[in-house]
Amino acid sequence: MKSILHISILLVILALLGGGGYFAYQKYIENEKIHLLDNIEHEFYSTDEYVFSRDNMKFSEHKEYKSFLAHANYLFTWEASVPFGFKTQDVELNFDESSNTLKLTIKQLRLFPLTVKNQKKKKTSEFLYFNHGELAAKFWEGIKKHTEKLVNKEFKSKTEQRNAVKSISKNSIQVKVTEILEKLNITDVKVDVEIKSMLLYHKVRV
């Protein structure tokens, strides 16, 4: 009878130890997950924003100026460097334990201030029109805001433009996060990036 009692007590103790071990293991895994996210977040959020670039966007526009019988026609051409990226405050980091995947959700990819360059003008026709310099100066004066509207139009109407920027952003941020993981000696974690939306100039969202 005593041996049966001893065995029962032993089984209970083992069960308690087993259960405690399981919960301790679960707690260890959870702590490791938190520790992993803390380290990655510390590295990732040390930068306020990530800015990327792509090939220059090129523009051309014909303008006709009239004053009574006089007229002048011009062809204006220029390029714009349009950087894009995101602020780290717009990114959510989560770790999916089941797939061992670090997931980055970019709430909004955004366009940063553009730079206009290679501005050129060509007079294509003219009749009795004076003060040509003023015409060109007036056009270039508002070129930045005008270009922002043209850039918005491009991104809103051309899916391939948006996809190209998203692809560059995803690849760049995957490289950056992989570098962070390597720095932390973490080699078995996959990285997945999702971009929810894109914020154009003048707070236009697509």
Residue 125 — φ and ψ, nearest 5°?
Answer: -160, 155
Q: Are 106 and 194 in contact (CB under 8 A)?
A: yes
> Phi, psi (5° rounding) for residue 45?
-85, 5
Task: Quote the pLDDT of residue 37.
Answer: 76
- The arithmetic mean of pLDDT across residues 84-113, rounded, is 92
pLDDT at 197 over 60: yes
Asked whether 177 and 103 are in contact (CB, 8 A), the reply is no
Q: Where do runs of H (alpha helix) occur along the chain?
A: 2-44, 132-141, 143-157, 159-183
d(CA 110, CA 102): 22
Per-residue pLDDT at 6: 54
**Predicted confidence (pLDDT) per residue in 135-166, tens digit:** 788 899 999 999 999 999 999 999 999 999 99
